[in-house]
Amino acid sequence: MESPSDSPKILKARVWTMSKRFVGIPEKSDFHIIVERIPALKTGEYLAKAVYISIDPHIRAITDELPVGSAIPGIQIASVVESLNEKFPVGAYVHGAFGWRTLTVDKGQTRSVPTYVLPDYLNDKSMEVSYGLSLLGVPGLAAYFGLTEVLKPRRGETLVVSSVAGGVGNFAAQIAKKILGCNVIGITSRDNKAKWCKDRGGIDQTISYMDQDVVEQLNKFAPEGVDYYFDTVGGDIANSVLSCMNDNGKIAQCGAISGYCNDVPAHLNQLEIIEKELKVEGFQVTRWKDRWFEAIDQLYSYHVGKRMSTYPPVYAAGFESIPDEFIRLFRSFNVGKVVVIVPSNVL
């Protein structure tokens, strides 16, 4: 007879799903954890155990297209715990869009973002692996490519960044100021978030839109007008910035979070765009997926050379806390890039 220790271990993953269609800002009761049995690995597969899960606003926009009951998408860093794929050896840390789940069987294929073993300096812990979801992941890459490939500002020109205390915004402000030499004005909701950015440098002036008039402040800080706008929010804030832009100014449309929870998406003032002959370019960081490793090396060199203040992401504890942390994004409560730490004993 087979003793308990001889029988194959049954592995189960915990998976956050969407139990109801989101209406407006999601609520905790819209989410539900299910348990999935993990099948035995087939050739070419590996088993990855979540270590850090990234909390991303984009998920609110894409879940509208998913059926109720779907697993929630998302990016994570996971540790390979079993492998039948030599490119993903046991012990390696992997970046992948596996979703809000504890265990994943994967083949290394590109999902919504590339799946890859983290570069050596993260895998050998010269830099904490969670940076692979912040400076050296989608937020840092979106900031880097949005500035260097879309806006291409010149030294001394004036550039505005919205949600400047957010995951992408704080890196965009720092790269614009410290690497590209722009005059940087950051917009955020509250003074404590403005202070958080100022303490890290990379910003000349901040505007707290909950307490201040954005147009009035922009006219004060940029009397000669705004040349570039790195926009993560859209809506009213974007239109305020547009009204202060110079002719032929350029906007990098990175995100539009002000509209993600609404039925009607946020709109830019088209008359302003026409009259000033502004250029608006939307982008997805995956456009440059073949250059991600080059850009990650570049961002790492800014860290090693102390050219940027490269603090780690903001950690939230526990797999259970993911929906709460997600909801906080839409209430302006987060500061910096938030990642959830998944405890190793979660299942």
Ligand X SMILES: NC(=O)C1=CN([C@@H]2O[C@H](COP(=O)(O)OP(=O)(O)OC[C@H]3O[C@@H](n4cnc5c(N)ncnc54)[C@H](OP(=O)(O)O)[C@@H]3O)[C@@H](O)[C@H]2O)C=CC1
Stretch that binds ligand X, among 12-20, 90-98, 185-193, 199-207 (CB under 6 A): 185-193
* Binding at 80: pick from ligand X, ligand LGFTCAMA, none (beta carbon under 5-8 Å per type): none
Residue type, 56: D
> What is the nearest approach in angstroms of ligand X to the Cβ of residue 144?
11
In angstroms, the Cα distances linking 83 to 88, 97, 99, 104 are 7, 18, 20, 12
* 163 touches ligand X (CB under 6 A): yes
> What is the nearest approach in angstroms of ligand X to the Cβ of residue 192?
10
DSSP-assigned letter for residue 321: G
Taking the CA atoms of 196, 202, 207 and 210 in sequence, report the sign of the dihedral they define: negative
* Binding at 59: pick from ligand X, ligand LGFTCAMA, none (beta carbon under 5-8 Å per type): ligand LGFTCAMA
Nearer to ligand X, 80 or 214 (CB): 214
Contact 338, 167 (CB under 8 A): yes
Nearer to ligand LGFTCAMA, 74 or 235 (CB): 74
Cα torsion for 71, 57, 274, 280, to the nearest 10°? -90
Nearer to ligand X, 26 or 57 (CB): 57
Q: Which of 160, 329, 339, 340 lies at the binding interface for ligand X (CB under 6 A)?
A: 329
Residues 6+ apart with CB under 8 A from 189: 208, 209, 210, 332
> What is the nearest approach in angstroms of ligand X to the Cβ of residue 283?
5
* 134 touches ligand X (CB under 6 A): no
Nearer to ligand LGFTCAMA, 64 or 199 (CB): 64
Q: Which tokens go with 318?
A: 């526990």
Q: Which of 118, 175, 184, 233 lies at the binding interface for ligand X (CB under 6 A)?
A: 233
Q: What is the secondary structure of 16-27 as a DSSP string?
A: EEE-S---SS--
Q: Whose structure tokens read 């440098």?
A: 201
* 97 touches ligand X (CB under 6 A): no
d(CA 46, CA 164): 38
Stretch that binds ligand X, among 250-258, 289-297, 299-307, 318-326 (CB under 6 A): 250-258
* Binding at 112: pick from ligand X, ligand LGFTCAMA, none (beta carbon under 5-8 Å per type): ligand LGFTCAMA
Nearest in space to 309 (alpha carbons), one of 170, 180, 176: 170
Contact 23, 60 (CB under 8 A): no
Span 35-74, contacts to ligand X by CB under 6 A: 56-58
Q: Which of 113, 257, 295, 308 lies at the binding interface for ligand X (CB under 6 A)?
A: 257
Cα torsion for 141, 236, 244, 177, to the nearest 10°? -20
* 79 touches ligand X (CB under 6 A): no
> What is the nearest approach in angstroms of ligand LGFTCAMA to the Cβ of residue 274?
24
List, in sequence order, every residue forming a beta bridge with 82; answer none if it has no partner. 47
Q: Give contact residues for ligand X (rule: CB under 6 A).
A: 56-58, 138-139, 142, 163, 165-169, 188-189, 193, 232-233, 235, 237, 254-255, 257-258, 283-285, 329-330, 332, 334
